[in-house]
């Protein structure tokens, strides 16, 4: 499958546009930092991103890439208040409307942090397979 166009990037982080055109509600997908972003775009008939685009949405996927030298000292604040906040702003600037965000796995935890600091840019938040109690298995 052809890789979607990159509409924003900073360091090793890219924002991939799966939309079939400029129309459609932008939805920003935030995957985990440790899993590859293509987990949401596995194959032509197994792609959440491409299916949503066919349904009229404009899905945008954060691709963290492999951390480079610059990212080697990043904290969660650097990712959430830095890279992720700027990716959200780039998504918002597509049509100046609040953005729905979807966090997958640990990306959901990042999405919650983003929602706490940039709620004015959000219309909705969905969390999929997001851990929330990190001590549940610790007796």
Set 27, 88, 105, 110: catalytic member: 105
- Three-state secondary structure along the chain? CCCCCEEEEECCEEEEECCCCCCCCEEEEECCCCCCHHHHEEECCEEHHHHHHHCCCEEEEEECCCCCCHHHHCCHHHHHHHHHHHHHHHHHCCCCCCEEEEEECHHHHHHHHHHHHHHHHEEEEEEECCCCCCCCCCC
Q: Using a CB cutoff of 8 Å and minimum separation of 24, what contacts does 44-51 make?
A: 44/1, 47/1, 49/4, 49/18, 50/1, 50/18
Annotated catalytic, 105?
yes
Which residues are known catalytic residues? 105
């Amino acid at each position: 499958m052809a890789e979607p166009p990159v509409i924003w990037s900073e360091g090793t982080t890219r924002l991939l546009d799966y939309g079939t055109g400029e129309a459609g509600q932008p939805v920003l997908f935030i995957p985990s930092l440790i899993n590859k972003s293509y987990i949401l775009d596995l194959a032509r008939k197994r792609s959440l991103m491409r299916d949503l685009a066919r349904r009229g949405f404009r899905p945008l996927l954060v691709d963290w890439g492999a951390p480079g030298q610059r990212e080697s000292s990043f904290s969660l604040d650097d990712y959430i208040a830095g890279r992720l906040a700027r990716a959200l702003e780039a998504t918002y600037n597509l049509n100046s409307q609040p953005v729905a965000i979807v966090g997958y796995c640990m990306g959901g935890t990042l999405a919650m942090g983003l929602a706490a600091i940039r709620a004015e840019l959000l219309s909705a938040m969905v969390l999929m397979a997001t851990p929330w109690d990190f001590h549940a298995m610790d007796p």
